[in-house]
Structure 1
Amino acid sequence: MSLRFEWLADHMQHSDTYAAWIHRQFHYEYAEQPLAEWQREFAEGQTNGDWRCLIALDGDRLLGGAALARADLALRPDLGPWLACVLVSPGSRGQGLAERLIEGIAEEAKLRGLPRFYLHTQSKQDYYAKRGWTMLERFHAWGNEQWLMVRDL
């Protein structure tokens, strides 16, 4: 495996695929947004700063990614930036890729001088808690309980 971590902005041929993975994995969040519209927004987000995404590649095969998002929770426009779009393809899970992607995003946020960043999850709160995230609040959205978490940088 020739694993490397790169910015999606430098590999835009993977943008629509990754956006489709996110749209499918987090379908409850995108129920109102057609896939093509999300793909366009996500691709634009690679250059306008809305969805700066770090991806894991094996050669030219996309394995996963994570994004530093300007806004990721309409209920909390006062917070940001966000760790968002964390996803590793099923065949590549269990190798610590998500953790390495998350740390890459944390490093990017630190380089930008950001004091903290946020995330929301409906099922991975224990995973994040073990990695330095603390719960701010629980809330209800998309028909489910959600966790709003923060991590100081």
Structure 2
Amino acid sequence: MWGDITIKRLSADDPNVALVADWTFEAWGHLHPGLTQEKAIERLKAECGQGSVPSIFVAMQAETPVGTASLIADDMSIRREFTPWLASVFVVPEWRGQGIASGLVKRVEEEAIESGIRHFYLYTPDQQALYRRLGWQDVESLEYRGETVTVMSRQLGL
């Protein structure tokens, strides 16, 4: 599927933290008014848990990070009753189309199952088809910080 790609848990002292924070800041920083690149790095470090929620995973090709995904408690301020969340699924453009995002999503789902989580959420403006293929279901479509997004949910262990 994706050759020699491995997925590892990101720790707060990992040398790739700043790069992963840059990816997520560039992709979604506009959804978080007032967030700076420096704050994004600190926030990412705080989400580097040892297991369960929060956890961040990185897809690695040898020593090079090529993608990331997270399991966090809160990803949408207007839906605080929904928790936890699959968040920040990102693959470097030249590595897309190789199943890396699907592998990252499955790794986050495994983490959720191991933690006793049976139901969690995500939101996406444009990747609904990917998530539907992976077993996610639409909950609602709404405007969130100037963008039309779909909130989706996933039942695990069924």
How well do the aligned residues superpose, as a CA RMSD in angstroms? 1.7
The question of 1:93 aligning with 2:96 is answered: yes
CA contact (8 A) 1:12 1:43 kept: no
1:5 aligns with 7
Counterparts of 2:12 and 2:60, CA distance in 1: 12
Partner of 1:102: 105
Alignment of 1:1-153 (within 5 A): 2-9=4-11, 12-47=14-49, 51-153=54-156
1:138 Cα deviation after fit: 1.1
Q: Deviation string for 1:19-45 (max 9, x for gaps)?
A: 110110113213421110111111121
Q: Normalising by structure 1, what TM-score?
A: 0.93
Q: TM-score, normalised by structure 2?
A: 0.90
Query: Does the 8 Å CA contact 1:50/1:71 hold for their aligned counterparts?
Result: no
Residues 1:118 and 1:94: Cα distance change in structure 2 (over 3 Å): same
Q: Secondary structure at the match of 1:94?
A: coil
User: For structure 1, which segment, 47-56 or 29-38, has the greater mean C-alpha deviation from structure 2 after superposition?
Assistant: 47-56
Aligned residue identity for 1:105 = V
Moved over 6 A (4+): none
Letter of the 1:109 counterpart: A
User: Post-superposition shift, 1:106?
Assistant: 0.3
CA distance in 2, matches of 1:30, 1:60: 30
Taking every aligned residue pair, what percent have the same amino acid on both sides? 25
Ranges in structure 1 where 5+ consecutive residues have no aligned partner: none
Give the deviation of 1:18 after TM superposition: 0.4
Q: Distance in 1 between matches of 2:90 and 2:150?
A: 17
Contact 2:12 2:46 survives alignment (8 Å): no
Cα separation, partners in 2 of 1:19 and 1:93, compared to 1, 3 Å: same
Provide, for residues 100-129 of structure 1, a one-character-per-residue CA deviation record: whole Å limited to 9, x for no partner.
010000000000111111000111112211
Q: Where do 5+ consecutive residues of structure 2 fail to align?
A: none
1:69/1:84 contact within 8 Å kept: yes
